[in-house]
Amino acid sequence: MKKDQLFTRRGVLLAGATAAVGAAGTAGLLTWGPGAERAAGPAAGAPARRLPLKPSAYRLQPLTGYGPPRSVSGRTPVRHEPLLKISGRGRTMVLTFDDGPDPRYTPQILDTLAEYDVRAMFFVCGEMAVYHQDLLGRMADEGHVVGNHTWSHPLLTTLTRKEIRREMSRTSEVIEEGYGERPHWFRAPYGAWNRAAFQLGSEMGMEPLAWTVDTLDWTAPGTRSIVDAVESGAGPGVVVLSHDAGGDRSQSVKALRRYLPHLLDSGYHITVPQRQYT
């Protein structure tokens, strides 16, 4: 798709995306455990797929309390809202990176996480992951969690149920091939969830995870701005949203190198979540 065509498409989708994000609803809580699973992030040269949303529209606010899931024995519950926070002992946080893997930025992020012996979550797009399965393998080897972020990063609220299923299932297959197991986590592009996404995610064994703090790094606001967003938003249970692909993510890489040691020095435990059925 040519650049001018892409921006035209974004303009058409803007109103729908804003409404969908605003309808995300009350957040659930996520708990931690020692046997946490692993997750992933876009590919080299991929076009940026972010809608030009205002920060207030793109950011989901941190809330607490479970949205009542319908649980079937042995199955992932069907939720009505994505999980936005985690609960647990102490000052526990999770770092998440979307849209990758990108060979320009993802390895640098993995290097920094390895330097501090920290695990994170990477929500990958299938069209990126299929060309960089070596990075999925590295994520698995280093204990990170890889989640499903659809194949092509579409606005799910504009797709049919069949199209949503294809976006999710193709990505899960690529993740299983490169990572070694199917993903247990799903994140809707743009934070735009609908009933079909929750239901299909449940059928595929995935929990929906959103975020508490949006760094807005996709707008390239400057390294200092990203660091400030993380450090000012830090707190027990916080889920941080950043990106390792979808554009120039050099600021995201530099910011991680600055805020990660500060978080650790402040007593935060950066880890990955374990699913808990309720």
Active site residues: 98, 243
Phi-psi label, residue 46: left if phi above 0, alpha if psi -120 to 50, beta otherwise: beta
Structure tokens at 192: 């735009």
Rounded to 10 degrees, the C-alpha dihedral 191/217/230/184 comes to 40
Structure tokens at 216: 């807005």
Query: If you count them, how many residues does the chain have?
Result: 278
Which residue from 83, 98, 31, 77 is spatially nearest to 205, judged by alpha carbons? 77
Helices (runs of H) and strands (runs of E) counted in the chain: 9, 10
In contact, 121 and 110? CB cutoff 8 Å: no
Name the DSSP letter for residue 189: G
Residue 209 phi, psi (nearest 5): -120, 125
In contact, 109 and 135? CB cutoff 8 Å: no
- Separation of CA 93 from chain center: 14
Which residue from 142, 48, 166 is spatially nearest to 98, judged by alpha carbons? 48
